[in-house]
Chains A and B, each alone.
Chain A
Amino acid sequence: MARFNVLEHQMVPEHYLLSLEEEKEVLKQLNITRDQLPKLRMSDPAVRILRRIETDVKEGRIVRIIRESQTAGQTIIYRLLIRG
């Protein structure tokens, strides 16, 4: 079976794994602690693809998602990877 990369689908927004330095920067910029971030499960199809590309994709890491927004044109959001 050919494996399908959901990130290549036009409906799926761009996902990037933040480096540890970027994580610090983002948390400082947003002025929040890690646990306040919205969550994203490890079993999410987009994360499973990320795991193939990046090394060290694990719980507690932060993913940056850039998506098209009806109201704002483009918007950047962050998700915290959690178990599941």
Chain B
Amino acid sequence: MTRGISKTIDSIKFGLISPDEIRKMSATKVITADTYGDDGFPIELGLMDPHMGVIEPGLRCKTCGKRVEECPGHFGHIDLAMPVVHVGFIKDIKKLLQGTCGSCGRLLLTNEEIKEYMELISKTKELGADAIDMSVLTKDIAKDAATRRICPHCGAEQLKITLDKPTTFREAGHKLTPKEIRERLERIPDGDLPALGINPKTARPEWMILTSLPVPPVTVRPSITLESGDRSEDDLTHKLVDILRINQRLRENRDAGSPQLIVEDLWELLQYHISTYFDNQTAGIPPARHRSGRPLKTLVQRLKGKEGRFRSNLSGKRVNFSARTVISPDPILSINQVGVPEAASRELTVPFRVTANTIDLAKEMVRRGPSPEGVKYIPGVNYVIRPDGRRIKVTERNRETVSENLTIGSTVERQLMDGDIVLFNRQPSLHRMSMMAHEVRVMPHKTFRFNLCVCPPYNADFDGDEMNLHVLQSEEARAEAKIIMRVQENILSPRFGGPVIGGIHDHISGAFMLTYKNPLFTEDESVRILSKVKLLDLPEPSEIIDGVEYWRGKELFSLILPNDLNMSFRSSICEKCDVCTREKCEYDAYVRIKEGKLLVGTIDENAIGAFKGKLLDKIARDYGSDAAREFLDQATQIALGAIMVRGFTTGIDDEDIPKEAQNKIEAMLEDAKKEVDDLVQAYHDGLLEPMPGRSLEETLEVRAMSVLGRARDEAGQIAGQFLGMDNAAVRMARSGARGSMLNLSQMAGSIGQQAVRGERLSRGYWGRTLPHFKEGDLGSEAKGFVKNSYKSGLEPTEFFFHSMGGREGLVDTAVRTSRSGYMQRRLINALEDLKVIKNGRVVNTAGTIIQFLYGEDGTDPSRSVQGDAVRVDDVLREVLGDEVTDEMIELSMAGYGTYDRDMESFDTDEFDIENDEEGGD
């Protein structure tokens, strides 16, 4: 095995291939349209001529003498009876014909103009123009030349040359044959070509007209033998057969002196076949079809598009050392780990070099063979690569001998074991956190397992999702992955400068149950909770009541906090009162941590949740990724301990509300319905005042929407009054574990107005939504208001309306995903070659500056605090201490507070009036 770079590509030059070169590189001339003879062997001078390479095992190539695996294949060629236009160069041929003189072949510009343009070209190049800029420039030059009516060199009048798509050129209506075009292109002198962006050394224009056609090697278009023994040829071979047949007929007819008309028809036919041989999707040409009616896949189709060579074989490849299976959760694993099934571990291998230091280990591993016995998994060896490069498969039978003969310098491919670094990925890979490095834990059973905190970055759940795993094969790759791709290094997202990895669902419910209102736990319970967290001893009991020892939840949680942590924030359950009482919060929603002790407040989504966890954010930022990983592992485990001790369940009866509440909601909805009816009445009576900039109808809709929207909220509020914090569903919604208060109010109170495109439902029948209503009914029920709750059940009409609203949601997501996918693709294509160099500059691969300083402030967004380089409050708190900082913040907030409240107290109408009065000033 050789490593390192032996040669580097300095530049790539594209050009045209000349007929001479085609013949020079050709291994054989192809004359007959036949492929195989009756004896089953390829015919000489046929399309499968063995000079062009071999595809059958056992045969030898007649050009290089090598066998199937070794012979790369060789080109042949077909001499065309008459020249034919190459479809791929139609545009360039047109540019050349229109820009040059029909009789003398010179560019239709004076020598001075040409010189001027050449100067412009070299100057543009000097200023760092790319290929696109250059092609625009040369196109402009050609356009200028095409406007000249008289040749400045020979004085000949220029006739108008038009392109009759796809391949016919006409001069003042008169048809130009490819032969005539070729003659004209031949006349263009080398000196005039650079001005048109053509390098005459690599691309003489007459080479755009084909006189001989290269035949690709058989290895490029292998024929396949079906089970029945029949041969099936490649699409390209089929097309070449067509070309050869017509070419032969054209030659015969021309030589026999057939009528001009027949020769021309055959010539056109040859042009058609050669055009479709290159591109079977040219506009204006009916695609050549297979006998079954399927369009043939010719050269361009092989390269173009998603399934083409570039996107599917060169930019993306199938790889070895990878695995894919279903995923499932495992809260015991650290966030850095991934559980790999034993079966997969036996297939996936890591190579290591046998040295004086590793030879004993290597021999021992090889001796185990590919499937070591034993209850506990130990890694074996699948292959040994000897120093001479020979690869030996280790089997049960040869493992002893291979082990004996193992020498220093060999490479051993050992099976996966605990602690190996692998990449783990879930599609769609929309951001860099979709592929992170994990440490392997080999486990029984058949799924990949990982910690639930890592679900958000992968956007994974366990309803059947599958994920991919890639085993790194070199020490450099492993080191790089461990330093920059490991899960713990990606806790803080570069997208918004906060954590993307964090507690979800039960982690949050558990932390909530552990800390909300600081509950007491007995010794037994406390030990159970702490036993989930490794290396934690039970502290001194917090309280002793009647001789029984109790521990406070907050004290248990404080055990996993860093000792010098100081911070305060508002929990997710915060009621957002007008005046915050902070530490004295009656809802226990103000978190204050001092010297690593949780004094007050509830730990919930705002503390440890993914995306929102402030506590997690602070620890990751101030104490580093190791501490963050440890905290996250412990916090989630302690939370799960708490939830398991106390138990947690939710069911449909969590949305039960008393009869009086139901009556209240019903009465309120009835009022809302009346209000809408009144609006409709006012509208019909012409008493409704139109809102500024809206028609009467729109005004009615807006007013009705707001009345009904308010009604839904009110129903939710009434229901909410009877659903307290002792209710599991409410606890989940408020702590941020799962669901929202809106979900609950739709279950217990009222589902509310259904909308399509943000408007009340209106389509279906003439003037009405369903035949249950009168035409022109604008009331709440007829336009899609669902007054029932999910629990009370929907009326038939309501169910229909709900389906209409639901359908829009589905269509939206379907449309959005495909559109955003394409947008992402375009964005990635535009940004993929950009990098930040050491002075903070953003450059592309050409060395052109894109941004003088990354993000204009040079800040790494994943090190930022929600996008800002520094958070002043935190600095103040560190320097001045909590009390002074709180005071300062309060002072600065005071102004905002009053202002906000003032704004809210304005009724919209009042506000308008006041504005009008002030308008005079």
Please indicate whether A and B come from the same complex rather than being unrelated chains.
yes
A residues less than 8 Å from B850 (CB atoms): 38
User: CB distance B856 to A82 under 8 Å?
Assistant: no
In the complex, A76 Cα to B856 Cα: how many Å?
9
The answer to whether A47 has its CB under 8 Å from any CB of chain B is no
What is the 8 Å Cβ interface bit string for chain B, positions 108-140, against chain A (1 contact, 0 not)?
000000000000100110111100010011000
In the complex, A30 Cα to B840 Cα: how many Å?
12
B residues less than 8 Å from A82 (CB atoms): 124, 127, 129, 133
Given contact pairs A32-B849, A38-B849, A38-B850, A80 touches B127 in the complex (Cβ within 8 A): yes
User: CB distance A83 to B853 under 8 Å?
Assistant: no
In the complex, A30 Cα to B857 Cα: how many Å?
16
B interface majority secondary structure: mixed
Query: Which one of A4-12, A14-22, A48-56, A67-75 is at the B interface?
Result: A67-75
A residues less than 8 Å from B855 (CB atoms): 71-72
The answer to whether B847 has its CB under 8 Å from any CB of chain A is yes
What is the 8 Å Cβ interface bit string for chain B, positions 130-163, against chain A (1 contact, 0 not)?
0001001100000000000000000000000000
The answer to whether A25 has its CB under 8 Å from any CB of chain B is no
User: CB distance A36 to B849 under 8 Å?
Assistant: yes
A residues less than 8 Å from B124 (CB atoms): 59, 82-83
The answer to whether A37 has its CB under 8 Å from any CB of chain B is yes
**For chain B residues 685-741, which have a beta carbon within 8 Å of chain A?**
none
Given contact pairs A75-B853, A77-B852, A82-B133, A36 touches B127 in the complex (Cβ within 8 A): no
The answer to whether A13 has its CB under 8 Å from any CB of chain B is no
A residues less than 8 Å from B857 (CB atoms): 69, 71-72
B residues less than 8 Å from A70 (CB atoms): 856
Given contact pairs A34-B127, A69-B856, A72-B856, A83 touches B849 in the complex (Cβ within 8 A): no
In the complex, A39 Cα to B857 Cα: how many Å?
21
User: CB distance B856 to A38 under 8 Å?
Assistant: no
User: CB distance A59 to B856 under 8 Å?
Assistant: no
**For chain B residues 852-890, which have a beta carbon within 8 Å of chain A?**
852-853, 855-857, 859, 867
The answer to whether B848 has its CB under 8 Å from any CB of chain A is yes
User: CB distance A60 to B853 under 8 Å?
Assistant: no
Residue of A nearest to B854 (CB): A71
User: CB distance A37 to B849 under 8 Å?
Assistant: yes
User: CB distance A38 to B848 under 8 Å?
Assistant: yes
B residues less than 8 Å from A36 (CB atoms): 128, 843, 847-849
Residue of B nearest to A35 (CB): B128
In the complex, A80 Cα to B849 Cα: how many Å?
11
In the complex, A69 Cα to B120 Cα: how many Å?
36
Q: A81 CB to closest chain B CB, in angstroms?
A: 9
User: CB distance B136 to A34 under 8 Å?
Assistant: no
User: CB distance A35 to B126 under 8 Å?
Assistant: yes
In the complex, A52 Cα to B126 Cα: how many Å?
26
In the complex, A37 Cα to B850 Cα: how many Å?
8
In the complex, A76 Cα to B859 Cα: how many Å?
17
What is the 8 Å Cβ interface bit string for chain A, positions 23-36, against chain B (1 contact, 0 not)?
00000001010111
Q: B903 CB to closest chain A CB, in angstroms?
A: 25
Residue of B nearest to A34 (CB): B127
User: CB distance B136 to A75 under 8 Å?
Assistant: no
Q: B846 CB to closest chain A CB, in angstroms?
A: 8
Q: How many A-B residue pairs have CB under 8 A?
A: 57
**For chain B residues 258-296, which have a beta carbon within 8 Å of chain A?**
none
In the complex, A21 Cα to B867 Cα: how many Å?
38
In the complex, A32 Cα to B848 Cα: how many Å?
9
Interface residues on A, range: 20 to 34
What is the 8 Å Cβ interface bit string for chain B, positions 395-423, against chain A (1 contact, 0 not)?
00000000000000000000000000000
A residues less than 8 Å from B126 (CB atoms): 34-35
In the complex, A67 Cα to B847 Cα: how many Å?
24
A residues less than 8 Å from B128 (CB atoms): 34-37, 39, 80
Find A84's partner among B136, B848, B853 (CB 8 Å cutoff).
Answer: B136
What is the 8 Å Cβ interface bit string for chain B, positions 335-356, against chain A (1 contact, 0 not)?
0000000000000000000000
In the complex, A36 Cα to B856 Cα: how many Å?
18
In the complex, A49 Cα to B428 Cα: how many Å?
47
Q: A33 CB to closest chain B CB, in angstroms?
A: 8
Q: A66 CB to closest chain B CB, in angstroms?
A: 12
Q: A67 CB to closest chain B CB, in angstroms?
A: 9
User: CB distance A59 to B853 under 8 Å?
Assistant: no
Find B127's partner among A35, A77, A78 (CB 8 Å cutoff).
Answer: A35
User: CB distance A83 to B848 under 8 Å?
Assistant: no
Residue of A nearest to B839 (CB): A31
A residues less than 8 Å from B136 (CB atoms): 84
Q: A9 CB to closest chain B CB, in angstroms?
A: 21
A residues less than 8 Å from B129 (CB atoms): 82
Residue of B nearest to A84 (CB): B136
In the complex, A29 Cα to B202 Cα: how many Å?
41
In the complex, A32 Cα to B847 Cα: how many Å?
10
Q: B285 CB to closest chain A CB, in angstroms?
A: 35
In the complex, A84 Cα to B135 Cα: how many Å?
12
User: CB distance B849 to A59 under 8 Å?
Assistant: no
B residues less than 8 Å from A60 (CB atoms): 123, 127
In the complex, A62 Cα to B554 Cα: how many Å?
63
In the complex, A60 Cα to B867 Cα: how many Å?
37
Q: A20 CB to closest chain B CB, in angstroms?
A: 15
Q: B125 CB to closest chain A CB, in angstroms?
A: 9
Of residues B127, B129, B849, which shows the largest number of chain A Cβ atoms within 10 Å of its Cβ? B127
User: CB distance B127 to A75 under 8 Å?
Assistant: no
A residues less than 8 Å from B849 (CB atoms): 32, 36-38
Residue of B nearest to A75 (CB): B856
In the complex, A36 Cα to B137 Cα: how many Å?
19
A residues less than 8 Å from B867 (CB atoms): 71
Of residues A59, A60, A78, A83, which shows the largest number of chain B Cβ atoms within 10 Å of its Cβ? A83
Of residues A38, A59, A71, which shows the largest number of chain B Cβ atoms within 10 Å of its Cβ? A71
What is the 8 Å Cβ interface bit string for chain B, positions 222-254, against chain A (1 contact, 0 not)?
000000000000000000000000000000000
In the complex, A59 Cα to B752 Cα: how many Å?
63
Given contact pairs A35-B128, A37-B128, A71 touches B859 in the complex (Cβ within 8 A): yes
In the complex, A78 Cα to B851 Cα: how many Å?
10
Q: A75 CB to closest chain B CB, in angstroms?
A: 5
Q: A39 CB to closest chain B CB, in angstroms?
A: 8
B residues less than 8 Å from A77 (CB atoms): 852
In the complex, A29 Cα to B847 Cα: how many Å?
17
In the complex, A34 Cα to B849 Cα: how many Å?
11
User: CB distance A71 to B856 under 8 Å?
Assistant: yes
A residues less than 8 Å from B127 (CB atoms): 34-35, 39, 59-60, 80, 82
Residue of B nearest to A37 (CB): B849
User: CB distance B123 to A59 under 8 Å?
Assistant: yes
In the complex, A69 Cα to B123 Cα: how many Å?
33
In the complex, A80 Cα to B848 Cα: how many Å?
11
B residues less than 8 Å from A80 (CB atoms): 127-128
A residues less than 8 Å from B123 (CB atoms): 59-60
In the complex, A36 Cα to B848 Cα: how many Å?
4
B residues less than 8 Å from A37 (CB atoms): 128, 848-849
Q: A51 CB to closest chain B CB, in angstroms?
A: 18
A residues less than 8 Å from B137 (CB atoms): 83
In the complex, A30 Cα to B849 Cα: how many Å?
11
Q: A52 CB to closest chain B CB, in angstroms?
A: 23
Residue of B nearest to A78 (CB): B852
In the complex, A83 Cα to B848 Cα: how many Å?
17
Residue of B nearest to A69 (CB): B856
B residues less than 8 Å from A84 (CB atoms): 133, 136
Residue of A nearest to B864 (CB): A71
Q: A68 CB to closest chain B CB, in angstroms?
A: 10
Q: B139 CB to closest chain A CB, in angstroms?
A: 12
Residue of A nearest to B843 (CB): A36
- 20 sampled A-B residue pairs with Cβ under 8 A: A32-B849, A34-B126, A35-B127, A35-B128, A36-B128, A36-B847, A38-B848, A39-B127, A59-B127, A71-B855, A71-B856, A71-B859, A72-B857, A75-B852, A78-B852, A82-B124, A82-B127, A82-B129, A83-B133, A84-B136
With A35-B127, A39-B127, A60-B123 given, can you name 8 additional A-B contacts, CB distance below 8 Å?
A: A32-B849, A34-B128, A38-B850, A69-B857, A71-B855, A77-B852, A82-B124, A84-B136
Across the A-B interface, give the 3 residue pairs with the lowest CB-CB distance, nearest first: A35-B128, A72-B857, A71-B857
